[in-house]
A and B are shown apart, each in its own frame.
Chain A
Amino acid sequence: MSLALDLLTILAVSAGVFFFLAGTVGLLRFPDALTRLHALTKADNLGLGLVVLGLVFQEERLFAALKLITVWLLTLLAGATVTRLIARNARPAGPRG
């Protein structure tokens, strides 16, 4: 049972790391601020979510697992807010600008 959980953790964390890598490559290679933000949100949401999922499999107590998921949700909120603020600064005129 614990072997299966360890395997799931390795799979989930590896997938999460892959998304972080993809997000970083996007940050370095995309041409302007908006596309870079788009790449970073993938790293934030999917990458961190998969890493947290992998860690949840290692937790024995429900409360600690819920705390990990709360960390992910709070990071989502903070990331989305900052992305919106930076995007509005990068192109303040709206869709036609």
Chain B
Amino acid sequence: MVFDIGLALLIVAVAVWTIAARDTFAAVIGFVAFGLLLALAWVRLAAPDVALTEAALGSGVTGVVLLGASTRLRHAEISAADKKPGAMLRAAAAVLCTVVSAGLAAIVLVLPHPAPTLAPQAAANMAATGLGNPVTAVLMAYRAIDTLLETVVLLLALLGLWSLTPDPFWGGLPGRRHHDDPDGVLTFAAQLLVPVGILVGIHIFWVGSVAPGGEFQGATILAAMWILAAMAGLVDAPPVSRRWLRLILVAGPAVFFTIGLAGFAMAGGFLAYPESHAKLLIVMIEVPVTLSIAATLALLVAGPPERMPQQ
């Protein structure tokens, strides 16, 4: 209990730092630390799958994107018209935010006890799915349509990102070219870390069916390993117009959707699994989805294309 109060206070303190820091770079660093502390809070709330996702996605990959932006935008001019809002607006905003916070805190304090929960239904039907991790069962069996739509949303975000490409670079390579320094420390670290990371990513994806883990966490680690190799200059991004890249990106949602349609024939509903083959079908969905999501996340971090391939 004391630990929880201390952790909650620390989280609030780092959040205040993120809002109040003068320098944007410092605020981004504060945000990365905030994400990691939040992952600790998730462990204390008995949600290890969410803790893994928060540490990898919420703090790790989001931190990469925000850090890259804060360094590239460092020299932006702030014109006189965009001065910080005056004291009146700040006071009004503070009052509004206090009211919102108080309202949420009141809701938290009057939450019903015992709370309504779907855990008994989840537990009762887990044997039919053949999975040992209830969160994976919810993601891939009970609410599989949410996960299918989520993969489509990721693709839509990537499409939105690619649509921002300047005309001369349409279909080109995303991200800057980092030069490979064979004696460099980053190259050494990438050469050591990337194989280990790929193993860890595949392990976390595979073990997610019986223990905390799953395809999103594993896919994030795989994407991070590609990002590390690209930063060390060991690999370069493929042009976004390549057909094999686009096939990898849509393979996950396409397989998911096909198996969902096949559910009509096999068990009488969209994304319904026949009880004898549920685990097999879930694994058949998870493998291409993991690859697709890893590719999508890596490309989301790389950004819109900014150069054409050398002819």
Contacts and interface: CB of A to CB of B under 8 A. Distances in A.
B193 A78 contact: yes
Interface string B175-214: 0000000000110110011001000000000000000000
Interface string A54-95: 000000000000000000001001101100110000000000
Contacts of A85: 185-186
A84 B192 contact: no
B185 A81 contact: yes
Interface of A is mostly: helix
Interface residues of A, number: 7
A81 B196 contact: no
A27 to B, nearest CB: 13
Interface residues of B, number: 7
Contacts of A80: 185, 189
Nearest to B232: A81
Nearest to B196: A74
A78 B192 CA distance: 10
A84 B185 contact: yes
Interface in A27-75: 74
A74 B193 CA distance: 8
Nearest to A87: B185
Contacts of A77: 189, 192-193
Contacts of B185: 80-81, 84-85
Contacts of B193: 74, 77-78
B189 A78 contact: yes
Interface of A: 74, 77-78, 80-81, 84-85
16 contacts: A74-B193, A74-B196, A77-B189, A77-B192, A77-B193, A78-B189, A78-B193, A80-B185, A80-B189, A81-B185, A81-B186, A81-B188, A81-B189, A84-B185, A85-B185, A85-B186
